[in-house]
Amino acid sequence: MKIFASVLAAIFVLYSAPRVFAHEPVFSLGPETIYKGGVGVEVEGEFDKADEEREAEMNYELLYGVTENLALTLQIPHLVEGRKGARTSNGLKDVTLRGKYQFFRRDALGIQDKATFIYGLKFPTGSEDKRPATGSGSLDHLFGLTLGHESTTLYGFLTARYLLRTQSGTREKGDQVLVDLAAGFRPWLRPYKSWDLVLLWENSYIFSAKDEVDDLKFANSRGHEILSGPTFLWSIRNLMIKAGIQFPLWQNLEGDQEERGFRALIAAEYHF
Amino acid sequence: MTKKYAAMILAFVMMASMGAAPLYAQIEELILRVDGLACPFCAFGLEKKIMKLQGVTSYDVDMKSGKVHIGLAEDARLEFDKIRVAVKDAGFTLRDIFLRARGKIEKTKDGFVLVVGGSHEKLLLFENDAVAKEYHAGDDPERTALSEALAGKLSQYASKKTEVQIEGAVHEHGGLPAGLSAEKIELL
């Protein structure tokens, strides 16, 4: 049962993990798409720590702009090291294919307001048998809505996501709700061909519902988390470096679940 | 001896290149007023799209004014539809197109035109504030689109075949050459 709890905790961390692109928040998704025919690649390193659990992973992402308001992202996560007490594991995690459709955009001088639908499919490509597990074993669906305001001076994002989990054998993980609010600013508006910096403060709320085994509710599951912390987006033309750290402001995890210490992320993104 | 031949070849190339200067000078710069340019990283997508257009040699953005400065080759043609599509595909909104061009004035049945580029592309000239006016079929374009003073000036330039530099906003017409509302005219 304890092993199962650790699997669930790992998955909990996994799906609260960010999927970043462009000027979207570091720990969330924003309404940004890419120009029609545009290709982007991103490599990100993420580190999570919760008492005796820690997880270091790399994410490799490929982005393609089908049109200026429809983008597809393939995300391949790789667990470099997952640790739970004395046990460690590594390997391919669950691959995600995600689409974003920007259904609203309002342009003004130096300002862009936009709203985007998100739909993602997470495939069971990781392993359930490893301890900690690198995959959930289930085909999960991600639905989201994200709103953003970007200007040459101010930034604001509000994103809500719902992760619908399906059954894997006799087990079914609880669905998740993720809500993110980020605000920031550009301290200096510099010339187009020189570097650019945006500073953000990102707040995340994560709720995970009860897991079930054979239709029985699993005690060591369900919980709420509120995380908060600073992030930055540094870019020069088509290269962006982004990083951030978030600490828990409040956690209410039921049963025997490790409380999160922090999560940190650094990523490099390049557009072709 | 080799140096002598090299000098002769160089002189020949220089003369040939001088002779190849276009009869009509070209559009020196195209400026797009684009809405939605909130970050340099996002503006790269527009750079990709614009640089793919034929004849474009340089690209820069003034983030504060939302103006995209585009350098054009001497023989570049103005293709408004392609510019419009490029901006749209990059995820922005095109508000205005400005240009700075050198050329000669010609009088046509539709009014005065600036002839630019090696392709002799024509831009129908308007007074700067004439763009907002209403026009009707049968209007005399000289009277409706130009003030008497400007029409007189252009008539003079046309008869003397003087080269001028004009800056202004471009607008499109159905069945007529694109319009250029002249904000600034300088004799060269």
Name the more confident of A221 and B59.
B59
Full DSSP string of B122-135 = EEEEEEGGGTTS--
Kindly report the pTM of this predicted structure: 0.81
ipTM exceeding 0.85?
Answer: no
DSSP percent split of chain B into helix, strand, coil, nearest 5: 30, 35, 30
Q: How far apart are CA B146 and CA B141, in angstroms?
A: 8
Size of interface A-B (CB pairs under 8 A): 90
Domains and CATH numbers, chain B: 27-99 (3.30.70.100), 103-187 (no CATH)
**C-beta separation of A219 from A186 below 8 A:** no
pLDDT at residue A15, rounded to an integer: 42
Q: How far apart are CA B186 and CA B98, in angstroms?
A: 16
User: Is pLDDT of A1 > 80?
Assistant: no
Q: How confident is the model at residue A52 (pLDDT cuts 50, 70, 90)?
A: confident
Q: Hey, where are the domains in chain A?
A: 2-271
Nearest to A68 among B40, B43, B88 (CB): B88
Name the more confident of A108 and A18.
A108
- Please determine, looking at this structure, whether the domain spanning A2-271 carries the CATH number 2.102.10.10: no
Is A23's Cβ below 8 Å from some Cβ in B? yes
Least confidently predicted of A145-149, B120-124, B138-142, B161-165:
B138-142
Is B103's Cβ below 8 Å from some Cβ in A? no
- Residue A153 identity: T
CA torsion B103-B108-B111-B117 (nearest 10°) is -20
Is A80's Cβ below 8 Å from some Cβ in B? no
Nearest to B38 among A110, A191, A237 (CB): A110
User: Is pLDDT of A14 > 60?
Assistant: no
Nearest to B38 among A36, A112, A193 (CB): A112
